[in-house]
Amino acid sequence: MAKLFTASILLALVSAQAEIANTCVDQVAHLYGMHSEQALPFSDYNYIHNTEEFNTVYRMTRLQMCENAEGQLVGIRSHITRYDAENMTPLAKLSMNIVGTVTGTDIACQGLVLDALNGEYLTSMYFGYGTEGVIDYIRATTNKSQQLSMGQLTNEMTTSEMTSIHDSRILAFHGYETDRIASIGQVSVQLSCIKGVTTVQSVDEPILIDIEEIENSHVTPQPTQQDEHALTFIIIGVVVGVALMSAAGVIFWMYKKKRGCWARAAKGLKSNKTMPIGMSGSFKNPRDLELQKRSSHKQMSKIVEVDESGEGMHSHRF
């Protein structure tokens, strides 16, 4: 029973992790920079997610950054390409949201072209910001040692760096904007993921939960869809295990009590062991039986004759 219960739990866990990928993009929550209340949110995630197609992959192929006449960083934009996953044939080129300002008088833009077919991607983006609501400096670097930087960086600024996470790649952006870039985060794509083909794979470490801490807590955890699937398989495993154990117990009881088919078998064996009366010796052949019958008839005839002669003598005496 314990083995069956364990197998049911393993089956539930495998089923929960073996789902076909329905998307390969993810919006990473962390933002770089300090946006003000007047800034407006933007995101490339929804558009990319809604245009994903079966057996295709997305890669960034161009990064555009712009600055004004004073040399201030004012805008950024990602350009991506959708490829056929089998032969990496380009299927569509897409330009993402204009973040900040990329067109207008005295606006100068530069582009960083990435050779995605040969595996080039952004490894990091270095940010510098000193006042609330504005990112003043960005430096983008690829794994092929290409760099593109715009804006002004001073020692008084706060700096931070955005990098690719695990086997993901920086694809596009989300965050907040005004007429400039207020804060920014990444929309990433899983390098080993193909929509509708590969399975979802998690690279995060498992989370260990203290049972005593849960019992002492007044917060009721909300079940997720994976938890519900796992619970369903566990219940099915328990029900099947109980049914098998019950059936085995009934069969064993019937065998010990000689019930059901074992009762008929026991009765047959008993009847075969009982011999008919007068046949306990060796079986007689038909000829012996006939001789025995004739001998019996002769003896009966003699008895009848003696009885008749005795009767005559008795009557003669009277």
pLDDT by residue for the chain (318 residues), tens only, comes to 444 444 444 444 444 455 788 899 999 999 999 998 899 999 999 999 999 999 999 999 999 999 999 999 999 999 999 999 999 999 999 999 999 999 999 999 999 999 999 999 999 999 999 877 899 999 999 999 999 999 999 999 999 999 988 889 999 999 999 999 999 999 999 998 999 888 665 544 445 444 444 444 444 455 556 667 677 878 888 888 888 888 888 888 777 777 767 676 666 655 555 544 444 444 455 565 666 666 665 555 555 454 544 444 444 444
Phi-psi region of 196 (alpha: psi -120 to 50; beta: other; left: phi over 0): left
Can you read off the two tokens belonging to residue 282? 């060796």
Give me the amino acid identity at 247: A
Q: Hey, where are the domains in the chain?
A: 22-190
pLDDT of the residue at 122: 96
Nearest to 170 by CA among 149, 148, 186, 147: 186
What does the alpha-carbon distance between residue 156 and residue 101 come to, in Å, rounded to a whole number? 25
Distances in Å between the Cα of 102 and the Cα atoms of 38, 73, 105, 224, 313 are 20, 10, 10, 42, 157
Burial 94-110 (b: 16+ CB within 10 A, else e): bebbebbbeeeeeeebe
Distances in Å between the Cα of 193 and the Cα atoms of 17, 27, 60, 190, 196 are 14, 15, 15, 5, 9
pTM over 0.85, yes/no: no
pLDDT of the residue at 311: 47
Distances in Å between the Cα of 56 and the Cα atoms of 46, 90, 116, 164, 199 are 17, 10, 14, 21, 14
What does the alpha-carbon distance between residue 309 and residue 307 come to, in Å, rounded to a whole number? 6
Place of tokens 């990928």: 21
pLDDT of the residue at 278: 47
pLDDT of the residue at 187: 97
Domain 22-190, second-level architecture: Aligned Prism (2.100)
pLDDT of the residue at 267: 62
Phi first, then psi: give them for residue 163, nearest 5 degrees: -125, 170
Place of tokens 């004004």: 68
pLDDT of the residue at 15: 44
pLDDT of the residue at 120: 96
pLDDT of the residue at 18: 56
